[in-house]
Amino acid sequence: MTTNAQALIDRLKAGEARTAVIGLGYVGLPLLVEFARAGYEAVGFDVDARKVEQLNRGESYIQDVASRDVAEFSRAGRLRATTDIAELARADTVDICVPTPLRKTKDPDLSYVVAAVESIAGYLRAGQLVVLESTTYPGTTEEVVQPILERGGLRAGRDFFLAFSPERVDPGNTQWTTRTIPKVVGGFDEASTQVAVTLYSRCVDRVVPVSSMKVAEMVKLLENTFRAVNIGMVNELALMCHNLGVDVWEVIEAAKTKPFGFMPFYPGPGLGGHCIPIDPFYLSWKAKQYGFESRFIELAGHVNSSMPRYVVERIAEALNTVGKPVKGSRIHLFGMAYKPDVGDLRESPALDIARMLQQRGASVGYSDPYVPVVEEGDLRLSAVPEAEALGRGLDCAVIATHHRVFDYPAIATRAPLIVDSRNALKGHQGTHIFRL
């Protein structure tokens, strides 16, 4: 154990370390709050001045983070936010929690990561720990992050410490949070791993060290690829069951009574969120660099990405039963977020459904208590209260996101046609209800 490593471990154990988080979104802000709760001095960095101002007023803009916690830790001097990247020079640890989207060509876009790392490199000093949490392909921390940080002459493992620890945030989940979800950590070397484990051990219930940064990177991709492939399989099964005249939801409910060897996954209008629709393509892209074709991943991606179009076709089928075309019909989406009980629009399939319906000439509206306004590309919509929407004389209601706050009995009885892509109307019957 080097002197630098032991000194940092001692500061972390004593709660005297200064922690920094770059990127204050769904991953970074909850982590920043947990660092402050653990007694660290926590400073968050973001390019969005509005977020910084809001946090420094003691207000949270993320559902999973309580404003009272932000206010309490701010008053105690343990939490603050800034746009001034120069303050990184004072930090003992730096966590990178910036987006890693895909380009239109399905190639990884690491521009946010590179920008963050270059900012850190300008203020890097001996004895600091840098941890990448942004999801990416195996090898990124070693091949991209490390060389940038070492440009100034400092060396990983000798002068500073480097690790990868995949974020596992599930927005809206009150049981599994930043604190309760086990934290996987893989360091550049043994000292880096030990320092990173010490950092997280004060604010996470269980830390799981692995042998390398590349293993830690692969862990996250396995988790989300597992989900994407299985969802793709059950989505394809839903299409098959529709053609066979079989209720796919009944099939799944019966299958999941098997006490071993089966894990239920459910079909839907498509994948959303920042992870599951994107992460498998990071793995697929990396595999191609080694001449390996990821057939399961590519096929699952194709099936999942086709689901919004399939939902639109089901809407057209439903309207056709009453002699109406999509063009000119008043179609209302219940739910715009990608998952229930959150306001997260990232990659939401409801956005694609709304766009395709508008392109076909439909008059599209939506209700979502968590998403007051939609301004995504050419899509510009404002939410309508649920009761008001049902009283406007809709032609077809589409349940795109199964928020618990929706009055499903009212939707089932008041909407003349319903396309239920989430089985939210389980138990409700009628020839006007069309399920996925």
111-135 tens-digit pLDDT:
999 999 999 999 999 999 999 999 9
**Res 172: pLDDT:** 85
What tokens appear for 288 in the block?
Answer: 């191609």
Q: Which amino acid is at 192?
A: S
- Rounded to an integer, the average pLDDT of 412-425 is 96
**Res 293: pLDDT:** 84
DSSP secondary structure letters along 93-110: EEEE-----B-TTS-B--
What average pLDDT is seen over the chain?
94
Given pLDDT bands bounded at 50, 70 and 90, which one contains residue 283? confident
List C-alpha distances in Å: 128 to 27, 43, 192, 283.
21, 15, 10, 30
CATH architecture of 231-435: 3-Layer(aba) Sandwich (3.40)
177-194 tens-digit pLDDT:
999 999 999 999 999 999
| pLDDT of 170 over the 90 cut | no
What is the DSSP-derived secondary structure letter of residue 145? I
Least confident of 1-15, 133-147, 321-335: 1-15
Q: Which carries the bigger pLDDT value, residue 287 or residue 243?
A: 243
Is-catalytic flag, 396?
no
Spell out the domain ranges in the chain.
3-211, 231-435
**Res 319: pLDDT:** 97
Given pLDDT bands bounded at 50, 70 and 90, which one contains residue 9? very high
**Res 305: pLDDT:** 93
- Rounded to an integer, the average pLDDT of 334-356 is 95
CATH class entry, domain 3-211: alpha beta
| Share in percent of the chain as helix, strand, coil (round to 5) | 40, 15, 45
- Rounded to an integer, the average pLDDT of 392-398 is 93
Residue 68 to residue 304: CA distance in whole angstroms: 39
Q: Which amino acid is at 313?
A: E
Given pLDDT bands bounded at 50, 70 and 90, which one contains residue 390? very high
Q: List CB contacts of 276: < 8 A, sequence separation 6 or more.
A: 224, 227, 228, 231
Q: Helix, strand, or coil here: 203?
A: coil
**List 97, 203, 241, 275, catalytic entry:** 275
**Res 210: pLDDT:** 98
**Res 392: pLDDT:** 85
